[in-house]
Amino acid sequence: MGEILGREGFCIRPILGLPKSRGIIMLKLTNVHNHPYIDPQLLLHPDVKALVKGIKVALEVGNTSAFINNFGAEFYDKPLPGCTAEMYGSDCYWVCYVRHMSTTFYHLTGGCKMTTASDSYGVVDHTLRVREAGGLRVVDASITPFITNVNTNAPIIMIAEKGSDMAKQKWKRAAVSWHQLTYLSFPHGFVYLSSGHPHCNIYSDCQINPEDAHDRCVDFNL
Ligand SMILES: Cc1cc2nc3c(=O)[nH]c(=O)nc-3n(C[C@H](O)[C@H](O)[C@H](O)COP(=O)(O)OP(=O)(O)OC[C@H]3O[C@@H](n4cnc5c(N)ncnc54)[C@H](O)[C@@H]3O)c2cc1C
């Protein structure tokens, strides 16, 4: 590496925007304080092949007259330590290179995916509510059923905007004004409310402390 230190250079970096490899997340124990088992299972076979193809395209681009004649470009072709057993430039060499040199983009997604009810691996529904766990939404990168092409940040901001809109909408619908309510007093000072409001009409849905609440309705079912 010493011979190229301080010299001008460029690099072409093939990126796998839509990897086919799928990782796994498994619970090790039923104790929630235990970390799960996570194996990203990176670089399963088709992905390696795609990256090798990308390297070949990069080599072709670097070998065009535009790069060679205009910039005097030449590849740094010292064999990678660890891959010297393979013939330099062969497919096996590039497979070895990919397995040694690849990095992740940290675009972790899909651990908590949104799917239809028939998918036993689905976790949240189309409104991001966790199935069979009323009152809980997941709003982050994990809900995407598959990875978006390349960068994840912008799509996740979109998911967050949509998720917050849905939650606000739900609360707005659930808000019950005083005049709609029938009060049932209990000795501990809280009032459980029953109202004609379509989204807030059973006792367990609504709990309001009359001291500080006016239009507040806690909707446990989100
Ligand atoms: C090094 C790196 C570089 C990246 N570069 C890019 C890029 O250039 N472009 C791009 O589009 N994407 C990039 N990404 C990916 C992008 O940042 C993520 O996909 C995105 O931020 C994920 O959003 P999220 O809301 O799902 O999770 P996060 O952004 O990770 O947010 C999770 C939040 O939850 C908090 N949290 C965690 N545990 C708890 C807890 N127990 N209680 C309360 N809060 C908790 C964390 O502090 C954090 O604020 C990069 C990621 C990394 C790691």
Mean of per-residue pLDDT scores for the chain: 81
Domain for residue 162, yes or no?
no
Tens of pLDDT, residue by residue over 21-53, are 999 999 999 998 999 999 999 998 899 999 999
Best substitution site from 156, 158, 162, 164 to test ligand 1's pocket, by max atoms within 8 Å of Cβ?
A: 156
| Nearest protein Cα to ligand 1, atom 52 | 106
What is the pLDDT at residue 176? 54
Distance in Å, CA 158 to ligand 1 centroid: 14
| Nearest protein Cα to ligand 1, atom 48 | 140
Q: Which domain, by its residues, includes 130?
A: 106-157
Total count of domains within the chain: 3
Task: For residue 108, give the nearest of 33, 19, 37 by alpha carbon.
Answer: 19
Domain for residue 19, yes or no?
yes
Nearest atom in ligand 1 to 142's CA: 26
Helices 91-101 and 45-62, packing angle to 10 deg: 110
- Catalytic machinery residues: 107
Domain for residue 6, yes or no?
yes
pTM of the model: 0.74
Residue 17 shares a structural domain with residue 50: yes
What is the pLDDT at residue 170? 86
State the burial class of residue 3 (Cβ atoms within 10 Å of its Cβ: 0-12, 13-18, 19+): exposed
pLDDT tops 60 at residue 120: yes
Residue 11 shares a structural domain with residue 24: yes
Residue 92 shares a structural domain with residue 110: no
Distance in Å, CA 87 to ligand 1 centroid: 41
Q: Which residue has the higher pLDDT, 194 or 126?
A: 126
Residue 21 shares a structural domain with residue 91: yes
What is the pLDDT at residue 103? 93
Residue 82 shares a structural domain with residue 6: yes
Residue 115 shares a structural domain with residue 34: no
Q: Which residues line ligand 1 (CB under 6 A)?
A: 106-107, 140-141, 151-154, 156
Nearest atom in ligand 1 to 151's CA: 11
The length of the chain, given as a count of residues: 222
Q: Which residue has the higher pLDDT, 130 or 197?
A: 130
